[in-house]
């Protein structure tokens, strides 16, 4: 990122707010990612929070990337690394697999995620590999190995996650403080539009609410549905 102060790296020292730091590249082991079939999606995302690139080889992977980035409890995120080795029953040599994402959470838990479309699950033996890896590799470089399909990675969840990620990249702390102060006076479910209409027009209420949902200070009451379809939220009172 750049700042109007425009300091050199030497002058900036540890101040990342005034010096640009080059994003780290994707950690993917498979460098040349090609579409699996006509109409499939490949590409790269920039993870603003971690200042790194994240590659994906399907639309489903891209959606799950957003879901991880929208989770404040994820403190480190990388894809396709490290390669996981395991033994198949009766095999004379080890096999390996490359999962899609490794996420480390603020609890210290490390989870390897394999993202598979339903139509590829049986062919890829995704759940069998998961079970073998769990038996042989847990506790080394990761604590859990999880296979996710469209059942967990829904369009609605991914859409909400993308809204949150975009909102956080455009965060205004003053607006967030004003919106939170207002929300703490409300002791009932309230919709995004009601908050927006109540507060002064110069306050970006919706963007701030999404940031506060990310912070865990506001909760969306229907997380299985999009914010547009189910717009009711409320303050989390501790």
- Report pLDDT digits (tens) over 124-162: 999 999 999 999 987 778 899 999 999 999 999 999 999
pTM, two decimal places: 0.81
Outline which parts of the chain fall under CATH 3.40.1350.10: 13-148
CATH class of domain segment(s) 13-148:
alpha beta
Q: Which two tokens stand for residue 173?
A: 């702390």
The radius of gyration of the chain from alpha carbons, rounded to an integer in Å, stands at 21
pLDDT at 52: 64
Residue in the structure block whose two tokens are 């200070």: 217
Percent above pLDDT 90 for the chain: 62
pLDDT digits over 17-61, tens only? 655 555 555 555 554 445 555 545 565 666 666 666 676 668 899
């Amino acid at each position: 990122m750049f700042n109007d102060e425009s300091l050199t790296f030497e002058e900036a020292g540890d101040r990342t707010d005034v010096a640009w730091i080059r994003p780290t590249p994707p950690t993917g082991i498979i460098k040349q990612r090609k579409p699996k079939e006509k109409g499939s999606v490949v590409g790269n995302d920039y993870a603003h929070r971690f200042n790194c690139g994240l590659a994906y080889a399907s639309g489903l992977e891209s959606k799950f990337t957003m879901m991880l980035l929208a989770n404040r409890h994820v403190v480190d995120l990388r894809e396709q690394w490290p390669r996981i080795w395991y033994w198949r029953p009766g095999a004379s040599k080890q096999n390996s697999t490359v999962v899609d994402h490794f996420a480390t959470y603020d609890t210290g838990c490390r989870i390897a995620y394999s993202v598979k479309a339903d139509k590829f699950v049986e062919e890829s033996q995704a759940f069998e590999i998961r079970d073998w890896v769990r038996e042989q590799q847990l506790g080394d470089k990761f604590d859990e190995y999880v296979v996710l399909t469209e059942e967990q990675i829904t369009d609605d969840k991914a859409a909400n996650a993308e809204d949150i990620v975009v909102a956080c990249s455009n965060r205004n702390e003053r607006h967030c403080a004003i919106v939170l102060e207002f929300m703490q006076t409300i002791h009932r479910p309230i919709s995004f539009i009601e908050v927006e209409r109540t507060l002064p027009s110069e306050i970006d209420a919706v963007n701030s609410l999404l940031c506060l949902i990310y912070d865990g200070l506001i909760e969306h009451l229907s997380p299985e549905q999009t914010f547009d379809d189910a717009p009711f939220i409320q303050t989390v009172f501790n």
